[in-house]
A and B are shown apart, each in its own frame.
Chain A
């Protein structure tokens, strides 16, 4: 069974700070997703990674397959980044099933 652990569970930052959220998993995977859930409940897919690094605006996601670890970084954080960030891993063969989710990291960015 694949366990997905996120840290920290809660994070409070001041506007402008550099933020890192971590995700570790226990079994080899084929892909890792980072999702953002807004305070209103809507979910947005931010990244999907199977190796290396991806960047979109102020967001950067990295994955280390050997260490079974991924990080989501937010540069120059802003109050609108306040949300729950969820890591999900896909493992096993086949198409997009077998997604296992972390419990999420709740981020609050203060002005």
Chain B
């Protein structure tokens, strides 16, 4: 079965450019999560959706970050304008249901480097 699919796997771009990260959750999963991982701060939850609706975006660092989920099979995380401190690995995860007893399935991540 296909797992969570993220694209691109790697992104290198210059400061000030717009960056769009993409995620396809596991079919049938109705919760989707975006995480950021850095050496300094470890893993952080940025935002999560339930049934395509953003539930908690308190982890989104600032207005330069935005996330959308136009349908059940696709989500984007956008950074505009990008800055070097946004360099990190961004993970997407999905789960079935909203209860805390549901495991999250992670994508392979997008390694983002802002020069």
Contacts and interface: CB of A to CB of B under 8 A. Distances in A.
Interface residues of B, number: 27
Contacts of A41: 89, 108-109, 111
Contacts of A7: none
Interface string B23-50: 0000000010100000000111100101
A97 interface: yes
Interface in A38-57: 41-45, 48, 50
Interface residues of A, number: 24
A45 B103 contact: yes
A98 B56 contact: yes
A96 B100 contact: yes
A101 B101 contact: no
A96 B106 CA distance: 14
Interface of B: 31, 33, 42-45, 48, 50, 55-56, 58, 89, 91, 93, 95, 98-106, 108-109, 111
